[in-house]
Amino acid sequence: MAKPIALECRGITKTFGRVVANKNCDLEVYHGEILAILGENGSGKTTLMNMVAGIYFPDEGRIFINGEEVTIASPKDAFAYKIGMIHQHFKLVDLFSATENIILGLEEQKKYNLKVAEEKVDEICHKYGFEIDPRKKIYNMSVSEKQTVEIIKVLYRGADILILDEPTAVLTPQETQKLFAVLRRMRDDGKCIIIITHKLHEVLSLSGRVTVLRKGEYIGTVNTAETTESQLTEMMVGKKITLNIDRAEPQNVTDRLEVQHISSVDALGNTVLDDISFTARSGEILGIAGIAGSGQREMLEAIAGLHHLTGGDIYYHNPKTGQIDDLRNKTPIQIRDLGVRLSFVPEDRLGMGLVGNMDIVDNMMLRSYRKGRGMFLHRREPKDLAEHIIHDLQVVTPGASTPVRHLSGGNVQKVLVGREIAASPTVLMAAYPVRGLDVNASYTIYNLLNQQKERGTAVIFVGEDLDVLLELCDRIMVINGGRIAGIVDGRTARKDEIGLLMTKSQEKEDALHGEN
């Protein structure tokens, strides 16, 4: 390597309580290269980089910048060593302009002058090909623009080492391409760029070398040019693991929920759902795959009556009456009054599905408290249900009167899923139900979903782990940028086929639509 070494980590270890986030990790990056750090969710990529950026302090290990050992105890120290990190959650003041955010916190000797700063921002934009108005307020910006501001913020501080934490998670394919072009230009300018990702195609198209982490441990580093997708996958997930999730043949499949051409926009007027049509059938698990933020949440919330649609219809085939009802833009109460037994396990468990400060019994009541006559609550049934769930699903808790906030993630999810299933739903929607859960708890959830399928529920499962989707679901619908990219058979589809549908640019189709 002719290029000088920029950053080197040796034997980094970090533990949080009993959880080992990083164990003896090594890393080296050169100036003028793009290094990808690849790993599954929870493999310790972000933690490792947070230590370089001064957010956490390592328990053990040494960090070298340009060959010299350094101590990075705060983000300020990191800046001093010209390290800048762009986090997944942007840290921007909404009310400020781009430039104001960019210069925030800087203690320059020069007099404060917004004009000069704006010019300097323009200069950086020009140099690397960003398109942004330095005077535009953050609250008027798209996600991609906000990310651009974060990157410029780091560059403005003269960073030589840029760390990007899953930068494409929130971007459209076109925006991703634009970002990559910018990153390549920065690389050519001699910057050292580290990109954290779990998407193979990004690694292959962008990086010069790849470092792979698995479960907090350093697995190895390879040159991108000399590697293949399957080699990387193997490094990332270890040897091919069969998950052994049971999958019964669907029985008595009938149409239950018919979604037709639904569309919607967000508060800023951007399209989030674009002409989505599909049918969920009883006795079947329909998987939903897609990059985070492709419209999964809005789609489920629209069905549950929580997200306003601008167009389309949602028909529910009532198995009892044989009637077909349109659920479009009905409130959750109206939907329930129609006799639709719809259960929904939302992504945000403690912020939406449950109330953290309430105990298990009171959380059971969330769905059922209206039942019964009079103005008073009936706590007996929910109490029985709570004890039932604690027993059946082996929820680890001191008792039914413990606030759910005190439970671990897996137990919280058991409480939530248990409650939703207890309503014996005809449609069960679950968004990322195993996120953050350990293996045992995950299998408990898979089993519960399968049981529901077998008793004739139409299950909609939004997942992020393609292996799980492929082993659990009967059909998999892939959404991409608020649109359906394809619906494949869960038994025959290949992983890379789905990956491609999730990520492929839809520009061509856009062009076609334009002609029509």
The contact set with another protein (CB under 8 A) reads 57, 62, 69-71, 73-76, 79, 91-96, 100, 103-108, 112, 137, 139, 304-306, 331-333, 336, 344, 346, 348, 351-358, 362, 365-367, 369-370, 375-377, 402-403, 405-406
Q: How far apart, in Å, are the Cα atoms of 380 and each of 29, 126, 299, 354, 366?
A: 61, 67, 35, 19, 14
- Least distance (Å) between residue 146 CB and another protein: 12
**DSSP sequence for 435-459:** TT--HHHHHHHHHHHHHHHHTT-EE
Residue 293's nearest CA partner among 411, 142, 159, 152 is 142
- Least distance (Å) between residue 38 CB and another protein: 26
Q: Which is nearer to another protein, 166 or 474 (CB)?
A: 166
Question: Can you say whether residue 333 is alpha, beta or left, with left for phi > 0 and alpha for psi between -120 and 50 degrees?
Answer: alpha
Q: Which is nearer to another protein, 196 or 354 (CB)?
A: 354
68, two tokens: 């010299």
Distance CA 432, CA 446 (A): 11
- Least distance (Å) between residue 291 CB and another protein: 23
Residue 194's nearest CA partner among 50, 68, 63 is 50
Q: Which is nearer to another protein, 206 or 400 (CB)?
A: 400
- Least distance (Å) between residue 479 CB and another protein: 22
Q: Which is nearer to another protein, 406 or 513 (CB)?
A: 406
- Least distance (Å) between residue 343 CB and another protein: 11
Q: Which is nearer to another protein, 104 or 248 (CB)?
A: 104
Q: Which residues contact 347 (CB under 8 A, 6 or more apart)?
A: 297, 431, 432, 435, 462
Q: Which is nearer to another protein, 416 or 449 (CB)?
A: 416
Q: Which is nearer to another protein, 265 or 500 (CB)?
A: 265
> Residue 514: which H helix or E strand, with range?
helix 507-515
- Least distance (Å) between residue 205 CB and another protein: 30
Q: Which is nearer to another protein, 98 or 477 (CB)?
A: 98
Distance CA 182, CA 349 (A): 37
Q: Which is nearer to another protein, 33 or 301 (CB)?
A: 301
Q: Which is nearer to another protein, 240 or 376 (CB)?
A: 376
- Least distance (Å) between residue 90 CB and another protein: 9
DSSP code, position 177: H
- Least distance (Å) between residue 86 CB and another protein: 12
Q: Which is nearer to another protein, 124 or 355 (CB)?
A: 355
Task: Report the side by side order of strands in the sheet with 342-345.
Answer: 342-345, 427-431, 458-462, 284-289, 475-480, 483-489
- Least distance (Å) between residue 91 CB and another protein: 4
121, 98 contact by CB (below 8 A) = yes
Q: How far apart, in Å, are the Cα atoms of 111 and each of 124, 135, 159, 225?
A: 20, 19, 22, 48
Number of residues that make up the chain: 516
Query: ∠ CA(2), CA(4), CA(5), 5° rounding?
Result: 125
- Least distance (Å) between residue 367 CB and another protein: 6
Q: Which is nearer to another protein, 174 or 402 (CB)?
A: 402
- Least distance (Å) between residue 485 CB and another protein: 28
Distance CA 272, CA 170 (A): 12
- Least distance (Å) between residue 95 CB and another protein: 5
- Least distance (Å) between residue 214 CB and another protein: 26
Neighbours of 477 (CB within 10 A): 25
Query: ∠ CA(456), CA(461), CA(465), 5° rounding?
Result: 140
Q: Which is nearer to another protein, 127 or 406 (CB)?
A: 406
Distance CA 467, CA 491 (A): 12
Q: How far apart, in Å, are the Cα atoms of 155 and each of 78, 123, 124, 135, 260?
A: 13, 11, 8, 18, 46
Three-class DSSP labels, 472-494: HCCEEEEEECCEEEEEEECCCCC
Q: How far apart, in Å, are the Cα atoms of 244 and each of 57, 240, 241, 486, 499?
A: 39, 12, 9, 25, 21
